[in-house]
Amino acid sequence: MTSRQRPTTLVLGTSGLGSGDEGAAIDTALALLRSEHVIDTSNIYSGGASERVLGRALSTLAPEERAPAAGRILTKVDRDPETGRFDADRVRQSVEESLGRLGVDQVTLLHLHDPYVLTVREALAPRGAVSALVRLREEGVAAEIGIAAGPVRMLQRYVDSGLFDAVLCHNRYTLVDRSAASLFRDAHDRGMRVFNAAPFGGDLLAGGPRDGARYHYRPASAELRDWTRRAEVVCARHDVPLPAVALNLSLRADTIDGTVVGVSSPARLHALERLAATVVPAAVWTELDALGPAPSPIDDSAYGEDE
C-alpha cells in the first residue's frame, strides 16, 4: 500500500431505498440528491422502488437543482425478474422502465448488472445484451456503459472485450480481500472508470468481528473474524475506527474512481461522510500489511471459464 491520499468519489448505493415507508424513503432520496455525491441505483433494486423514489424526489427539486442532481444518478439494466430473460430486447425494456421511473431521458452511466443467467459468450454475441447496451450509448441514451458484478474472472472477460467504459466489482477489494486489485489496475490503465462496491463486505468491517458477523452475504468464518479482530486492535492502537480504515482503503486507491456504499437514511449519509473524512495514520497501513493476508472470504470457483 502507498501512504498517499487520493481524492475519489463517494458513491451512494440505494439497493434498499423504497423497501419501507415511502415518506421516509423520499426524505432519504432528497438528502442523497442534495448531497452532491454520485448515486448508484438499478432497475431491480427494491423491485423498482429505488428508481421510483429517486424519480419522485427529483421531481420536487427546483429546475436549477434537478438537472445536475439527475446527472449524478447511475443505473443498471437487469434481467427480467420473472422469467430471467436477459437478451437485447430485455435490455431495451429495462432501460425504458428505468428512465420512466426516474423521469429522465438519458443517464450518465448505464451498467449491465449481474448477468449471471448468461455466459459471457452469450452476452457478447452479435445480438446479445451487450450489443443493445452499445446501441444505447450510440443513441445517447447512456453517455457511458459499464459492467457490474462480483466474480473477478468473469468481469475481466467483459473488460477484455474493449466495449465498456466502466467496471464495478463488489466485495472483492476490502481489508480482507484484494482479489479485484489486478482487474482494477487493468481497467484503470485502459482508461475505464473503476467502481469498488461494498468496501465493508457486509457487516464484518462495519460492525466488527462479533459472533454472527457476515461477509459477502454469508457468515464470516472464525478464522476471518480472528484476522479482523487483530486488524481492529491495530486501528484502536491509533485511535481510528475499523470502518473508517476499511472505507479509506478504497478511497485512497489510485485505481478506483468511485467507492459505492449503501445509504439507508440521512443519518447514515452523515455518518458515512464522517468516516470518509477520517485521517488514517500511515502507520496503520504498515501494521495492517504486517498482519499478512486475511483468510480468503469468497470462493469464486463456481464461475467457470464461460461464465
Judge whether 39 lies within some domain. yes
147 SS3 class: strand
Residue 1 domain-assigned? no
Nearest CA-CA partner of 186 in 160, 206, 212: 160
Q: At 157, give phi and psi (nearest 5°).
A: -65, -40
Q: Is residue 300 part of a domain?
A: no
pLDDT of residue 4: 35
Mean pLDDT value across residues 112-125: 97
Buried b (16+ CB within 10 A) or exposed e, 75-91: bbbbbbeeeeebbbebb
Q: What confidence tens digit (pLDDT) does each residue in 21-78 have? A: 989 999 999 999 999 999 999 999 999 999 999 999 999 999 999 999 999 999 999 9
Decide if 187 is inside a domain: yes
Query: For the domain that residue 143 is a member of, what is the CATH number?
Result: 3.20.20.100
Q: In this structure, is the dihedral angle defined by the CA atoms of residues 151, 78, 250 and 26, taken in order, positive or negative?
A: negative
Where does the pLDDT of residue 302 fall: very low under 50, low under 70, confident under 90, or very high at 90 and above?
low
Domain containing 56: what range? Answer: 9-290
**pLDDT per residue as tens digits for the range 183-208:** 999 999 999 999 999 999 989 999 99
Three cell numbers, residue 12 = 451512494
49 lies in some domain: yes
Does a structural domain hold residue 303?
A: no
Place of cell 459472533: 211
What average pLDDT does the chain have?
Answer: 94
Helices within 103-164 (DSSP H only): 120-123, 129-138, 152-160
Task: Give the pLDDT band of residue 106 (cuts 50, 70, 90).
Answer: very high
Q: Which residues pair with 259 in a beta bridge?
A: 10, 196
Question: Residue 303: pLDDT band by 50, 70, 90 thresholds?
Answer: low
How many structural domains is the chain composed of? 1
Binning pLDDT at 50, 70 and 90, where does residue 300 land? Answer: confident
- Rounded Cα distance between 150 and 116, Å, is 10
Q: Is residue 219 part of a domain?
A: yes
Residue 302 lies in a domain: no
Q: Which of 92, 90, 89 is nearest to 141 (CA)?
A: 92
Q: For the whole model, what pTM was predicted?
A: 0.95
C-alpha closest to that of 77 among 96, 103, 101 = 96
pLDDT of residue 299: 84
Q: Nearest 5 degrees, angle CA 273-CA 271-CA 228?
A: 100
3-state secondary structure of 226: helix
